[in-house]
Structure 1
Amino acid sequence: MMQRIAVSGKGGSGKTTISGTLARLAGRRLGHVLAVDGDPNPNLGRAMGVQHDGVWPLLPTNLMKVEEIDGKRVSKLALPVQQILTEHTVAGPDGVQLLALGEVDEPSKGCLCSRHGMVREIVGAAVEEADQAVILDMEASLEHMRRGTVRHVDKLLVVTEPYYRALESAGRLVKLAREMGLKEIYGVANKVRTPAEEEVVLNYFKTLDIPVIAVVPFDDTVTAADLEGKPVLDYNPQAPSIRAVSGMLDRLMA
């Protein structure tokens, strides 16, 4: 059974393309998947081919409540998670529901801290209460680690390209994820052109004691699909990157 999977990585690493592809392939197998865009600059809907006007509404602030439990103030969802998913998701292809953290539509209006909290609790409840597998596409910064947005996920995928700055960013993510207590952390090597580049990523994750669950080759199809405004999965279902993500899904579900 697939559970809650978060996809994280440096900006430009390709994590959103991987997240969208992974969600749709999982939807084809499972019949229903919740894809969560955890980035306030949302792109997951486009990557999946969701038919929408592209303006993702902010989640309302009344979805959370504070209760006192054993003398501690605890934030919890104010509504059943199934009701939230019914009222605040957009239907996507292949049985995928899309929930977006929401985009920043005005400057100098404060942080989105409360919405990170909502996403965290929705992800935490989705499997047990709504029988939903979850693919969570995180923002490129480390903010989601600070806010604990990925606290309830079962698996964290750290996507990296084969060059030093991307690997260094991956190392920071792994460190914070371990400090948060996440047990299943996997590396994903993306945009790999040569065996030498693959070896660099494999060796780096080996030093972190993190298994690499997939090596996704550099694929010109991704650029061609984006130029036409299409998901790679629709543009060419047999593209090398699609085959690699499908193999990763096999391993995740196993």
Structure 2
Amino acid sequence: MKVAVCGKGGVGKTFIAGSLAEAFFRQGRAVLAIDADSSPNLALTLGLSPEEAQAIVPVAENEELIRLKTGTSYSGVFRLTFTVDDIISEHAKKTPAGPGLLVMGTVRTMGSGCTCPAHSVIKALVRHLIVERDEVVILDMEAGIEHLGRGTAEGVDTLLVVTDANKKSRETASAIIRLARASSIRDIRLVGNRVAGERDAVAIRSCARENGVPVGILIPFDPVVAEAGINGEPVVRDGSGALAAIETLAKTLTGDDGQGAGP
């Protein structure tokens, strides 16, 4: 299963992507998390220290990976397929949370150019990656809608569009859904985050209804998550309503909730 997580900046997209990857890992699945955001923070969500995160070689800078796995360079044609286990064992960074992590790439200095080559590599990786039944790939996409124009999320099975009750967040979610509908992605779900009450829930459900997509889950506002974010610490699983909701989402996506895996 290949799942992309996207949404407006600041809605909690990376927290959900990382927590979802960990939830799948706790199910006993092989999980590859791909940070496709040009401002990568997924490593921290998965338990790595800032120093460890800085030391990761991004895919866009890993010429050996590109050459070995595609048989070509940036300008050539991607010819080969490869497996999740292969990527995890050889090139992904193992994280304290369990999943393997690949970082797409980022602009490290001013004037160093755009991340378009990195997006091309990730697009090819996602398209050619062979995913077995008990394997999951989670992509933490760049905030906003630009990545859909690049086609970075092509080849995913499910697109999770994250929003909170804020009107601008819902407008961005609607724009993402419209663009995604023009792609090959068949399963698009809206995920509500930081839902503080019925008013928030109604706004998010209305957004889903207006765009003709199901609500994947409503994740409650969680002071445990807020406190962890302030302190820069991992979220303590016990007592976290947000993590419990994300565990439920993982079961829903794999059909382990008894209701099937959705569309």
TM-score under structure 1 length normalisation:
0.88
Partner residue of 1:248?
249
Q: 1:58 to 1:253 in 2, by over 3 A?
A: same
Partner in structure 2 of residue 159 of structure 1: 162
Letter in 1 for 2:21: A
Unaligned runs of 5+ in 1: 68-72
In structure 1, distance between residues paired with 2:79 and 2:44: 28
Following superposition, the deviation at residue 57 of structure 1 comes to: 2.2
Q: CA RMSD in A?
A: 2.3
Count of equivalent residues = 245
Q: How does 1:113-128 map to 2 (within 5 A)?
A: 113-128=116-131
Q: 1:53 to 1:87 in 2, by over 3 A?
A: same
Change (3 A) 1:231 1:207: same
Residue in 1 that maps onto 2:11: 13
8 Å Cα contact 1:31/1:94 also seen in 2: no
1:129 deviates by 7.5
Q: Distance in 2 between matches of 1:74 and 1:243?
A: 44
Deviation (angstroms), 1:22: 0.5
User: Which whole-Å CA distance do the structure 1 matches of 2:10 and 2:162 have between them?
Assistant: 10
Q: Which residue of 1 aligns with 2:25?
A: 27
Q: Would the aligned equivalents of 1:6 and 1:135 in 2 still touch at CA under 8 Å? A: yes
Q: 1:242 to 1:249 in 2, by over 3 A?
A: same
State the 1:23 CA deviation. 0.3
Q: Which runs of 5+ in 2 are unaligned?
A: 256-263
The one-letter code sitting in structure 1 at the alignment partner of 2:58 is L
**Secondary structure, aligned partner of 1:173:** helix
Q: Which moved more, 1:42-51 or 1:163-172?
A: 42-51
Conserved in 2, the CA contact under 8 Å of 1:127 and 1:133?
Answer: no
Whole-Å separation in 2 of the counterparts to 1:216 and 1:127 = 31
TM-score by length of 2: 0.85
- Cα distance in 1 for partners of 2:127, 2:133 equals 10
2:199 to 185, 196, 199: 196
Per the TM alignment, residue 217 of structure 1 is displaced from its structure 2 partner at its CA by 0.8
How far, CA to CA, are the matches of 1:242 and 1:127 in structure 2? Answer: 28
> Do the aligned partners of 1:16 and 1:137 also contact (CA within 8 Å) in 2?
yes
Bigger drift between 222-231 and 196-205 goes to: 222-231
Separation in structure 2 between the aligned mates of residue 6 and residue 126 of structure 1, nearest angstrom: 14
Which residue of 2 is the match for residue 53 of structure 1? 52
- 8 Å contact kept, 1:19–1:137: yes
Instruction: Please give the alpha-carbon distance, in whole angstroms, between the structure 2 residues aligned to 1:24 and 1:93.
Output: 10
Q: Does the aligned pair in 2 maintain the 1:126–1:133 contact within 8 Å? A: no
**Cα distance in structure 2, aligned partners of 1:155 and 1:140:** 17
* SS of residue paired to 1:54: helix
**Counterpart for residue 214 of structure 2:** 211
Which amino acid is the alignment partner of residue 241 of structure 2?
A: P
Residue of structure 1 in register with 2:240 after alignment:
239
Tell me the percent identity: 32
Question: Which residue matches 2:229?
Answer: 226
Q: Is this contact kept in 2: 1:50–1:91, CA < 8 A?
A: no
Distance 1:32 1:237 in 2: 23
